[in-house]
Structure formats: structure tokens, C-alpha cells
Amino acid sequence: MDWNTFVTTLTATGFASAAFVFLAKILSKHLLSMDLESFKADLRAKNEKELEQLKADLRIAAFQQETTFARLHEKRAEVIAELYAKLAEVHDRMQLLLFPSGLNDGEDVRQHREKEASNAAIDFARYCNTHKIFFEEPLCDLLESFNRDILTSWGMHKDGSTASKGEMGSTEREAAWQHLDKQVKPIRNEIEATFRKLIGLTPLSTTPSKAG
């Protein structure tokens, strides 16, 4: 092989090698670009899927929370309504027990009224204690005071007796009854306000309007 042929062959081989390297780089970049775009697409799809799953989980959690809150709201309304009924019951029974008009009742009637008043008082106190979690603090304070005074009035009825009747006289009865009775209205007002708030009723204003 002469020198010219050798040089020509070497030059052609060099160009071919350079072209191959150049094409290899282009192909490599193209493949890398395709891989990167594919990775981005997969990542985007994965993120979108996870985002949709998160949204679904949040919707489920929100629904569960709303359902739980609605049930608790409904339960609280039921408890408040029942408290109102039990307050009326114990109020009536204590009135029959302590009101001075009962001084002339027979022994059987007196014992029957004692039993009914005792049952109503125990039931009311137990209900207040076991459902205290549903009541706001101002109402709890009123109920605790009322239950203490029921016990006091009951003790006055049982222990502050007269020699002839075995029970309180008219003055003591009236004092005990009035002490209890004056507490009922604030408790009723508090229960009514709480219940109206629970069912979405706006309390009516009791403040008289000023004349223009």
C-alpha cells in the first residue's frame, strides 16, 4: 500500500469514527431526553394519582367528621330536651311535698308524695351527673346548686318535724319551697336558650325598643 492510499484510508476511518461518535452522542442525548420525559410523565401521573387519593381521603374524613358532629349535635339536643322534662317533674314533685297546702293530707298521701319526690330528685340528680358533659358550665353550676338545695329541703322535711305532725310546719315548708322554686326559672331559661341555639333558632330580644 502506497503512502497516499494509507493516508486516504486513515482519513476516511477518522471521519467515520468521528461521525460515529457524533451520532452516538446525538442518539444518547435523544434517548436520555426520551427517558427524562418518560420519567417526568410517570412522576406526574403518580403525583396526580396520589393527589386524587388524598382528596378522596380528605372527603371521606370530612364526611365522617360531619356525620359524627351531626350525631353528637342530635344527641345533645335530645339530652337537653330530656333534662327540661326531668326538671319539670322534680319541680312538680317537690312542690307537692313541700307546699303548705299539703299539711292536712293523710299519712298515706304524705308517704306517697315523699316517695315520688324522692324518686324524682334521685333521677334528676343522676341524670345531671351522667350527662354533665353535654352541658355548658353556667348550666352545670345552676344544676349543682339546685340539686344541693333539693337535698337541703328534703332534710328539712325529714328532720325539721313538729311534735304532733312528724313533719315541717307551714312556715318551714313555704320557706323551703320558695327557696327551690326561685331557682327553677333561671335553669329553665338557660335550658331553653341552649336548646334554641342547638336547633338554630335566634332568641327573641327582650329589650324594649326605644321610641324614635
Long-range CB contacts (< 8 A, 24+ apart) of 75-80? Answer: 75/134, 76/134, 76/198, 77/195, 77/198, 77/199, 79/131, 79/134, 80/134, 80/135, 80/191, 80/194, 80/195, 80/198
In a domain, 186, yes or no: yes
Structure confidence at residue 46 (pLDDT): 75
- Distances 7 to 12, 14, 18, 19, 20 between C-alpha atoms, Å: 8, 10, 16, 18, 20
In a domain, 79, yes or no: yes
Residue 106 belongs to domain spanning: 73-198
How many folded domains does the chain comprise?
1
In a domain, 9, yes or no: no
Structure confidence at residue 155 (pLDDT): 78
> What is the torsional sign of CA 80, 82, 86, 89?
positive
Contact 88, 146 (CB under 8 A): no
pLDDT tens digits, residue range 84-128? 999 999 999 988 888 766 556 677 877 888 899 999 999 999 999
In a domain, 62, yes or no: no
pLDDT tens digits, residue range 124-176? 999 999 999 999 999 999 999 999 989 888 877 776 544 345 455 667 777 77
Q: What is the CATH number of the domain that holds 103?
A: 1.20.1440
Structure confidence at residue 29 (pLDDT): 67
pLDDT tens digits, residue range 14-46? 555 655 555 566 666 666 666 666 766 777 777
N- to C-terminal Cα separation, the chain: 125
Please report, rounded to a whole number, the percentage of residues in the chain having pLDDT higher than 70: 58
In a domain, 154, yes or no: yes
In a domain, 175, yes or no: yes
In a domain, 63, yes or no: no
- Cα angle 170, 178, 85 (rounded to 5 degrees) comes to 120
Structure confidence at residue 20 (pLDDT): 56
